[in-house]
Amino acid sequence: MIKTLMKSIREFKIQSILTPIFVSFEVIMECLIPLLMSFILMKAQEESPDTNLIIILSLGIVALGFISLAFGVLSGKFGAIASSGFARNLRKDLFYKSQEFSFENIDKFSSASLVTRMTTDITNIQMSYGMIIRVAVRAPLMMLFSVILSFVVSWKMALIYVSIVPILALILFGIIKIAMPVFDKVFHKYDSLNAKVEENIKGIRVVKTYVKEDYEKDKFYKSSDEVRKDFVKAERIVAWNQPAMMFFMYCALTIVSFLSGYLIVTTNQTELNIGEISTILTYGTQILMSLMMLSMIFVTLSLSLASVRRVVEVLEEESTITNPKNPVMELKDGSIDFKDVSFKYSANALKYALSDVNIHINSGETIGIIGGTGSSKTTFVNLLSRLYDTTVGEVLVGGLNVKDYDLKVLRDNVAVVLQKNVLFSGTIIENLRWGNKDATEEEIKEACRFACAAEFVEQFPDQYETYIEQGGSNVSGGQKQRLCIARALLKKPKILILDDSTSAVDTKTDALIRKSFKENIPNTTKIIIAQRISSIEDADRIIVLDGGRIDAVGTHTELLKSNAIYQEVYNIQNKIGGNNDEK
């Protein structure tokens, strides 16, 4: 786990090494100061004190203070660079890793959880890393040097400090053991809170349409309050740490003060003098502060341990879909074969989403797909571009198994206009160039004409430089669909899949888009998932899916005569005027 995280330090290794080195020097300087003070006090009690020596020693203390300050500043500077750089690399690695994930991997983590890991969790790790390379070095070194120098001054008094350390360590261990499960629980609540926020922001128009702002506020408040309650519970446990530490250390200091005073009075300062007791008490305070820092470190680390596990879980996750060792870099044509294909989304799922699918589609053929909600129409086309891999059987494109192709080559040749159309913030031309970053202005205009998008784009004042808001909120659903189709066409694919991608356009525009495809890209295999029979009735063949199985395959005329499901949908849409809702 730690080894996985450390890979993200990279170019900040030097700063990460220099920080503890400077901290070590800072601690040494600080620990030498009480020793010099003791020596000065001892010299000052002599009958004829050497004033020059005392002045020199005093200047030495000032010099040590300035040197300690310089090392402290340097350690702080390098520590900040190292921790913030480490967090930047870690966030970058996490994001890059998530970009490699298949749909199956993303389904496993959820988008809200990935956002929490890239923000809250990495912030916790950054704080902990900064603490490890500075405070986690300073505290034990300070305690070690203070104990050693205490033995140099008076081993009897030093034994009191040493005897108290195991007690405090046991208390700290107990507190962390109890608090850790609570902190783990908190981060799961964070995921839930982020999911609710994300859902609300994405569906804000629906929320306002149904006047559900108060309901959403109440839902958010409950989730937020659950996080608060768990944090309060964890912090209440952790809060015992400081008073317990203070109690036992002040007990130790009280015992040291009492015994030191007793020895000074009874031995007339022969065994222990005032300068030495002052030094012993100073080292005792340093030990106390070191233990307090150590306890703070352990609490912070225990909090971040849950974050470390969650981040490492993503970093160590392997994508379920990867390139083959020797990938095929060319796709011959747009022919498609499903051979005994069955698929389920999870290995533990009891039922297959697709079952026993066998079909051959010729290159350049136009295929319509229709079926009720949950009939796995989207699942069917997702297997073509390897958004998921088959559970049983194989899918062939261009005569070869899709698993044999380079992923980029396959997905560049199998263009999918997804059911949920997504545009990104930026200009129209920037969004369209997602399909082909090197596309010329003429190619972009041509793709827009084919998708019937040019008619509205060229009416905008800025035309193709028109800025699209996040999620395409400043264009209509039909406009968004047509821009997404144009984006897919720019890839010049051998297979074009429209997953219910004309549902928001009128029937006239829908017909014009299909006519444009027939005239301009006749050699491209076109698969059209639709809820309107009018969108697929002129397809070469239509596949009727029911319950994840192919119920029938045929032309519009053939299915009207022989297939009950197709007849029912047709009758509803043309006689009653209803719609067969699909997703």
- The answer on 351 and 285 residing in a single domain is no
What is the pLDDT at residue 269?
A: 66
- Minimum mean pLDDT among 24-28, 229-233, 515-519: which range? 229-233
- The answer on 362 and 260 residing in a single domain is no
- DSSP state letters, 521-538: -TTSEEEEE-SSGGGTTT
125 and 300 Cβ atoms separated by less than 8 Å: no
Residue 460: inside a domain: no
What is the pLDDT at residue 74?
A: 92
18 and 85 Cβ atoms separated by less than 8 Å: no
- The answer on 378 and 346 residing in a single domain is yes
365 and 407 Cβ atoms separated by less than 8 Å: no
CATH of the domain at 510: 3.40.50.300
Residue 443: inside a domain: no
- The answer on 258 and 362 residing in a single domain is no
What are the tens digits of pLDDT across the range 446-480? 888 888 888 888 888 888 888 888 777 777 777 88
- The answer on 345 and 249 residing in a single domain is no
Residue 202 sits at φ, ψ, to 5 deg, of: -65, -35
What are the tens digits of pLDDT across the range 376-404? 888 888 888 888 888 888 999 888 898 88
pLDDT classification of 70: cutoffs 50, 70, 90: very high
Candidate ranges 3-17, 198-212, 276-290, 299-313; pick with highest mean pLDDT: 3-17
What is the pLDDT at residue 578?
A: 45
Please state, for a pLDDT cut of 70, what percent of the chain lies above it.
95
pLDDT classification of 579: cutoffs 50, 70, 90: very low
- The answer on 571 and 509 residing in a single domain is yes
- The answer on 350 and 296 residing in a single domain is no
For the chain, what is the largest distance between any 2 Cα atoms, rounded to a whole number of angstroms? 123
- The answer on 222 and 124 residing in a single domain is yes
pLDDT classification of 583: cutoffs 50, 70, 90: very low
**Mean pLDDT across 132-143:** 84
- The answer on 162 and 65 residing in a single domain is yes
CA–CA separation, 200 and 195 (whole Å): 9
Quote the domain boundaries for residue 560: 336-420+494-576
Of the residues 286, 315, 344, which one is the last residue of a structural domain?
A: 315
- The answer on 151 and 186 residing in a single domain is yes
What is the pLDDT at residue 37?
A: 79
- Minimum mean pLDDT among 24-33, 131-140, 151-160, 486-495: which range? 151-160
Residue 86 confidence (pLDDT) above 60 = yes
What are the tens digits of pLDDT across the range 178-215? 777 777 677 677 767 777 777 777 677 777 777 777 87
CB atoms within 10 A of CB 214: 8
Does this model's pTM top 0.85? My answer is: no
Query: Which run of H or E residues covers position 546?
Result: strand 541-546
Residue 298 confidence (pLDDT) above 80 = no
- The answer on 164 and 32 residing in a single domain is yes
Of the residues 315, 346, 377, which one is the last residue of a structural domain?
A: 315
Query: Which run of H or E residues covers position 177?
Result: helix 155-202
What are the tens digits of pLDDT across the range 214-236? 877 888 888 888 778 877 877 77
CATH of the domain at 145: 1.20.1560.10
Structurally, how many domains does the chain consist of?
Answer: 2
101 and 156 Cβ atoms separated by less than 8 Å: no
Residue 455: inside a domain: no
Considering only CA atoms, which of 184, 181, 167, 187 is closest in space to residue 295?
A: 167
CA–CA separation, 234 and 253 (whole Å): 30
- The answer on 371 and 292 residing in a single domain is no
DSSP-assigned beta bridge partners for residue 487: none
